[in-house]
Amino acid sequence: MQLLLALFFLLGIPSGAPEIHSLKYFYTASTQVPNFPEFVIVGLVDEYPIEHYNSNTQRLQPKQDWMNKVTEEDPTYWETSTNGALGAQETFKGNIGTVKQRLNQTGGVHIFQYMVGCEWDDETDDVNGFRQYGFDGEDFLIYDQKTETWIAPVQQAVPSKHKLSNDKALMDFHKRYLTQECPDWLKKYVKFGRSSLMRKDLPSVSLLQKTPSSPLTCHATGFYPDRADLFWKKDEEELHEDVVKGEILPNHDGSFQMSVDLDLSGLKDEDWGRYSCVFHLAGGQEVSKRLDKRDIRTNWKTNDGGFPTGAAAGGVVAALLLLTGCIMGLIVCLKKPPQASETSSSSGEDPAMKKGSSEEQSMLKPLHEGRVQRGSSH
C-alpha cells in the first residue's frame, strides 16, 4: 500500500541538490486502537514534524520552536488552526462509519487515512502536489495532479471518483491549492525554519573491533540531519553481503549516530586496501574511511597482557559510544507509540459519502487550506 509505505520511509535519503522541499499533512481517524487517539493530525516540512493535533488534547501545537514565528504575521494562527482541527475531527469521526459500511466492514480496529501536500524545487521553482485516501492500509482514492483526475484503486471507490471528477468547482479548488496555496505555505515555513532545515553536520568516522574474530564496525557519530546512509564498499561497488547495518540513533546533543558491521572472516590481507566505509549525508556530502589495520580501535588484550598499538584509548571511547547508542536506542523504542503511530499515520475520507454536505468540504481541506480561505496572508 503506497500511502502507508511512504510513511515508513519518511526518513529516507532525498535525491540531493537542488533541494526539494515538501509540506505534508497526515490525518488519521481510527476505531478501537488501544492507547491511541481516535483522531490525529501531523504536519511535516521536509519530513520534520511542525504541527501536531490529537483528539485527547484537542489542540494544535507546534513541534518546532521556529513554528511560533507564524504568529508574527497571523496572531490567531494556532487558535484558528485548532478550530479547524476540531471540525475535521468531527467530520472524520462521522465518515469512518460510512466508509466501513461501504466496504462491508463491521466492528474492530479500523484506520481511515488522508494525506495531502506538495513538493517544491527551490532551484527550478517546480511544484508537485498530491492527495491520497486510504482505509485499513489500502489505497482508496488517489489524485493525479498531472492529469487532474481521480484514480479509484478499488471498485467501491468508483462512485466517489465520479462524484469528485464531475464537481468542477471542487476540482478547481484542488488544483489551486496544490499549485498555489500549498507551495506558498511551504515557502513560508522553509523561511521560518531555514537554519534548522538547512543544517548539515558531517560525522567523525571510526573503525571499531571487539576481538580479532569479531566483525569490524564502522561507526559514524555527530552527523545531522538523520537522513543519511552508511555502507561498506569494495573498490567502487557497495557491499550487501557479509554486512549488517544498524539503526540511526540520537545523541544527547541532538546529532545522530549509526554503525555498519563487516564480516572479515573471508577477507584476504592483500585486499584490505580495496575496502572502505562511506558515510553519505542528505544533499550529497560524503566522508570515506579506507580500511587500514592501523586505524582499528579495540580493547582486546594481546598475549603479553597489553593492548595493540594505538588501540587502548580509542577502544574504551568506542565501547562507551556503542553502549550509549544502545541505551539511546532502547529509550527511543520504549517511547514509540503503538503500531498505528502518529508519525506513521495518513488520513482521508470518501468525499462522495456526505453527498455535498459541509462535512465533505472540511474533510477535503488540510489545516492551512482553511486559513487561506479565511484570508490569512502569505
Instruction: Name beta bridge partners: 31.
Output: 110
What pLDDT band is residue 27 in, cutting at 50, 70 and 90?
very high
Specify whether the CB–CB gap between 276 and 232 falls below 8 A: yes
Q: Distance between CA 173 and CA 176 in Å, rounded?
A: 5
| pTM across the whole model | 0.62
Give the pLDDT mean for 144-168: 88
What pLDDT band is residue 346 in, cutting at 50, 70 and 90?
very low
Which runs of consecutive H residues, i.e. helices, occur in 33-181?
A: 70-73, 77-102, 158-165, 168-176
Name the residue ranges covered by the structural domains of the chain.
2-196+339-373, 204-335
Higher pLDDT, 48 or 217: 217
Higher pLDDT, 32 or 36: 36
pLDDT at 369: 54
CATH code given to domain 2-196+339-373: 3.30.500.10
pLDDT at 297: 92
Q: Between the CA of residue 208 and those of 38, 240, 248, what are the distances in Å?
A: 46, 19, 17
Whether residue 358 is predicted with pLDDT greater than 50 in this model: the reply is no
pLDDT at 138: 86
Top-level CATH class of 204-335?
mainly beta
Give the pLDDT mean for 108-127: 89
pLDDT at 51: 95
Q: Determine how many CB atoms are found less than 10 A away from the CB of residue 35.
A: 7
Relative to beta strand 243-245, strand 228-234 is: unpaired
- pLDDT > 70 in the chain, percent: 75
What pLDDT band is residue 127 in, cutting at 50, 70 and 90?
very high
The predicted-structure confidence for 58-98, as pLDDT tens digits, reads as follows: 999 999 999 999 999 899 999 999 999 999 888 887 777 77
Q: Distance between CA 178 and CA 184 in Å, rounded?
A: 10
